Structure 1
């Protein structure tokens, strides 16, 4: 049995590594800093993932590589292409499966629930970057150089997703404190939210099941809820009166963008939060038997984790 190499130790990478180790696989997590993951079956390595030679040398035989890296949002155009190229090279050198954690940016605006069959038609830079990464991986797969697959998810929610997520700790802390929550986009349009635990479950499956290779998969995702509805359901579970939910004005976002390079980048993807943004994940459920964790269960876990901190 070869090694499963996870690149990145954020919530996605660390969670995937734990799932793989629990399944009995030898797991290495590679980051620049050598970040440790709290599991006895996981080895941490300090390596620059852009250096294909160094990354390929972390193990004699790599069965699968999981791209769970997370370059700074404002630097995708510069950072993703060389990193993706390096991971392709390592996968080819080892004859490994390349599993990429991706999102829905590549589709661009779509006026119906998104399926894996929708074209990668985005015209803005971040969407084109993500689409090109999959096109390159699929071309290598079709040429027989590697085996490739990709997981695509909507916005993450769940314990540990961090404060930068739309439904991350910043929103949770304010809601549980009974304070007004301010969100990006329309407060009341349907939006898909993907549970982090479902993301890592699917990633671990994609690298170990040959039925997954050669195509992308949507992570099992519960029925869409608006931002207001999700926040109010969180309040109900926590026993807190429903808080006020308001949207940032265009002027507020502009001012914030003056001081934040990340917020400055939000303009291209506002369509995801101003109009219905819904994912169809039925393929993964049909093929792998994986069901989305019910939203109420995820929110209960968020509340319990927040209270115990």
Structure 2
């Protein structure tokens, strides 16, 4: 039986664990704080920046899913290099395949839809960190030290997505309550959003198919919509009539960023919201047959999750 090790217990890692456990797989989730074991899922506390500790905690792994992420943008430069080096070392030590959760930062500002062949030309610090991770992993893959692939999604949303997601707490909750939703950037520019369960299913699919290795894959995502359209859809499905208000970037970067350092990092990615930001995921669907969850279905599940969360609070 394949031994699956998942790094990170956030929304994506937790969903990957649930999918695998439901299939009867052996699942181990590694995170800094650990967690409570569940049927089919073992939790282990480990600092992923410590290569020796991570290698020991992932002993026996056949597949490693990297779903971890530093807590905030302002920690990427300090935490990602040692963390990803430790992940590569652990995968090499065990002869494990590595499936990485990626994003679109590697491309930087582009004209037109992004595909897997779009050049990696990000001028920003976070994009360059992600490019280095990709290059280091692919060097190991090409050297025969491990098998590697990366699933890239656009802005994640869905059950469990909170303040760190643009289509998260700052948009979903006020929209479903019929309040004004504050947005940054062009509220009418088309934008690709990736549903968290679709991302998790893509990671599992890639881990189990020999065609996946040695290249990136864009996760099946619903057709792009503007933030105004997303807010309107949330309101329609929740039986509310929210409004959209555009705020200037300096409010987020200077005012909010004064007490939330991670928000200052949004300055580098504002191109994603100031104009069209569209990801083409057709290659994944053509290769594996998987399609994205429809936007209404995904938003309905998101609203239902929020209602349960608010009722419990």
Name the TM-score, length of structure 2 as normaliser. 0.95
Cα offset, 1:59, TM superposition: 4.9
Matched, 1:46 2:42: no
Structure 2 SS opposite 1:57: helix
Cα deviation 1:146-178 (Å, max 9, x = unaligned): 100001000011111112210112321111221
Structure 1 SS opposite 2:42: strand
Q: Distance in 1 between matches of 2:249 and 2:301?
A: 33
Distance 1:35 1:279, change over 3 A: same
**Number of the residue aligned with 1:130:** 130
CA contact (8 A) 1:3 1:59 kept: no
Structure 2 SS opposite 1:44: strand
**Number of the residue aligned with 2:193:** 193
Residues 24-103 of structure 1 aligned to structure 2 (within 5 Å):
24-36=24-36, 39-71=38-70, 72-103=72-103
Q: Distance in 2 between matches of 1:127 and 1:60?
A: 31
Q: Distance in 2 between matches of 1:250 and 1:54?
A: 41
Structure 2 SS opposite 1:217: strand
Residues 270-281 of structure 1 aligned to structure 2 (within 5 Å):
270-281=270-281
Cα offset, 1:60, TM superposition: 4.1
Structure 2 SS opposite 1:4: strand
Cα offset, 1:53, TM superposition: 1.8
Q: Which runs of 5+ in 2 are unaligned?
A: none
**Number of the residue aligned with 2:246:** 247
CA contact (8 A) 1:106 1:122 kept: yes
Distance 1:27 1:274, change over 3 A: same
Runs of 4+ with deviation above 3 angstroms:
none
Count of residues in correspondence between the two structures:
307
Cα deviation 1:246-289 (Å, max 9, x = unaligned): 12213423222222211111111100000100000011101111
**Number of the residue aligned with 1:180:** 180
**Number of the residue aligned with 1:258:** 258
Q: Distance in 1 between matches of 2:173 and 2:258?
A: 25
CA contact (8 A) 1:164 1:170 kept: no
Structure 2 SS opposite 1:29: strand
Q: Distance in 2 between matches of 1:247 and 1:259?
A: 21
CA contact (8 A) 1:84 1:133 kept: yes
Q: Distance in 1 between matches of 2:183 and 2:162?
A: 15
Q: Distance in 1 between matches of 2:12 and 2:118?
A: 25
CA contact (8 A) 2:185 2:249 kept: no
CA contact (8 A) 1:220 1:284 kept: yes
Q: CA RMSD in A?
A: 1.3
Distance 1:307 1:60, change over 3 A: closer
Structure 2 SS opposite 1:88: helix
